[in-house]
Structure 1
Amino acid sequence: MSPISRDDLHRIFKNLDRNNSGQVSIEELHHLLSRIGIHASLEELEKLVGRTSLDYLEFLFFYEAAVKARMGDDHDSKDQKENDLVQAFKVFDLNNDGYISSEELQSVLSRLGLWDKRSGRDCKDMIDVYDENSDGMLDFEEFKNMMSAPMASDYSYS
């Protein structure tokens, strides 16, 4: 799990907090986690979080705890990391053709609140950086290289 910038986490939180209450419910968090391939029951998630909703600071603590647990997990072997990348790739490969197009990447980033549609930019430039065979799309190996690059979590999406 690559660290996400605080700005991106704030955008994700605001996107989840649809009624602008300053709280994200367990149901909203569950929906987000399901969309990115992390499956847990509502009951498990509520037990893990210890409450029925999170404010922004609690949301940050939840994210940081999840990252630390993931990085310190004894089961986080090379095979587990590869499996995580496969699952992440599937989230972005919307049409299941084995490639991520700039449109698919932009669509997923937009849904997560990590892309400002008003910028007039697309994800082609980001894909071009990692597109080793210059076909305009990312295959799994290119995606894996993008996700393991040090600048992947620092890339500005907005």
Structure 2
Amino acid sequence: MPRLGTGDLRRIFENLDKNGDGQVSLEELNWLLEKISVHHSVDELELFIGKPSLDFDEFLHFYVSISWEGTTGNGGSESPEGNEGDDDQETDLAEAFKVFDLNNDGFISCDELQSVLSKLGLWNEGSGRDCNSMIRAYDTDSDGRLDFEEFKSMMLITFA
């Protein structure tokens, strides 16, 4: 999962907080996780989180706990067994790629990128973001879309 800034996380939190009470319920959180292909029951989330809802600070803590550095337990560095950390990172990147590759054709198009970012509350027409330029920055074969290797390079360079 790519690292997001506090502003992006604030927008996601506000989009999830449908009733505007400053809390994201586990049902709302689970809805988001399902959208990015992370499947847990609400009961599993409650065991992990220990309460029925999260305020923004708790949401930030939850995000950090499930981000790459939070899940590797070693800051993303290599594990003592050798390259196992690299395998975990490759698996994480493959899972993230699948989230964006909506039609499962092995490529991420501008429409797919915009769709996923919209679902996460990170895209709107007034944002000034241009998905074509975002893709062109890492599209080494200039075909207008990202394959897995280009996506991996983008993620490793951008979020290293």
Partner of 2:14: 14
8 Å Cα contact 1:16/1:28 also seen in 2? yes
Letter in 2 for 1:136: G
1:33 aligns with 2:33: yes
Taking the aligned partners of 1:43 and 1:32, their CA distance within structure 2 comes to 15
Letter in 1 for 2:105: D
Taking the aligned partners of 1:122 and 1:3, their CA distance within structure 2 comes to 19
* 1:3 Cα deviation from its structure 2 partner: 2.1
Taking the aligned partners of 1:2 and 1:100, their CA distance within structure 2 comes to 15
SS of 1:130's equivalent in the other structure is: coil
8 Å Cα contact 1:12/1:114 also seen in 2? yes
Structure 1 residues 55-64 or 69-78, which shifts more? 69-78
* 1:31 Cα deviation from its structure 2 partner: 1.4
Distance of aligned partners of 1:152 and 1:125 in 2 relative to their CA distance in 1, 3 Å threshold: farther
Q: TM-score, normalized by length of structure 1?
A: 0.87
Partner of 1:71: 72
Pairing of 1:1-158 with structure 2 (within 5 A): 1-67=1-67, 68-72=69-73, 77-119=85-127, 121-149=129-157, 151-152=158-159
Unmatched 5+ residue regions in structure 2?
Answer: none
Higher normalized contact order (CA 8 Å, seq sep 6+, divided by chain length):
1
Q: TM-score, normalized by length of structure 2?
A: 0.86
Taking the aligned partners of 2:148 and 2:135, their CA distance within structure 1 comes to 12
